Structure 1
Amino acid sequence: MKPSTACCLAVATVLALMGGVVDATVVTTCKAAAGRDGRVDYGFCVSELGKHHDSPSADTWGLAKVAALTGLVNADNAVYDIKALLAKHGTDDGSARAALGQCQELYDGMGFAFAEAHDDINSRDYAGGKEKAGEAASMAHRCDDAFAKAGVPSPVTQYSDYSAQIAVVCSAITNLIQ
């Protein structure tokens, strides 16, 4: 077997083990976004955008909108989990309940911010889209701050981290649109 054939087979095996092939546009767009904005986590970008059903047919403009939609879904999932935590009988600590309540409001607002980012990008108002994505990231940080002030660990840290990262991806990809 030629070395080039062995290399191609190895790459194909790795891609098969990863669960499929990520569209080349996602890869090239994430690479360009990471190259232009050092805050972009290339692996996160490829992984998360590659999961969305619209990504294979999306151009850069479409991928910016996919990033905003992905942020919206994450915010909605956070609200669902926060409501479940508030309904639990074990959440009797007043400061934790207050922080959860504040985060529920913030994640509701974050969902709207990501939806508005999508709409702005769709309308080609790129500055507005980036501003709304930035607002979403700010709300994630404010949720983390609410738990820090309460002196309790946040049960929604994974949502905050995700929201901040996808907001950066959304803004960075929007910056690539000509």
Structure 2
Amino acid sequence: MTGFGISDRSMILIVAIASVLVTVSVADRDWDNGGDGDGGFNYTTHWSRVPGNDTCNNNEPNKIIGGGSDHWRYGFNYSVWASQNTPFYINDVLVFKYDPPSQTPFQHSVYLLPNMCSYITCNLSRAKLIANTTQGDGEGFKFVLKSWRPYYFVCGERGNLHCKDGGMKFFVMPMLRHG
């Protein structure tokens, strides 16, 4: 039988709830600082202020550079970056930019992990390499968020050290675009 098992269904539910909570927390941090003079939340400008994801009011996919101007590098907390750049939408394009091996001794890659447990532990045993150490050069490696499901991204270099200790991991749960 194919499909999701009980644990996979539970994990998707947990990720969906976490995604909603992150979105609410992002909204909540501006509740008293809406910039409209009355101290209330400014619905018209809040989401347009989200860095890297400023076109969420139309039906066009967003192009979002992982880490913003910091790109994909060791020592940057991508989990925090992802929570600050919500919401992500289906068909948005994530761009991973990093130096090729010829320009740096610290190589990077991008792996897609199958589940939250693998993500938390940085376990790459069932991971899929989606961008090797050379694909982040130039315009970077582009990844389309094609469906409503959690996506777990990590760097698997240096024996998973970049994921475990270097902050090079994040997950997103793209939402349906409305409008």
Q: TM-score, normalised by structure 2?
A: 0.32
Q: TM-score, normalised by structure 1?
A: 0.33
Q: Which structure has the larger Rg over C-alpha atoms?
A: 1
Higher normalized strand content (fraction of residues): 2
Higher normalized helix content (fraction of residues): 1
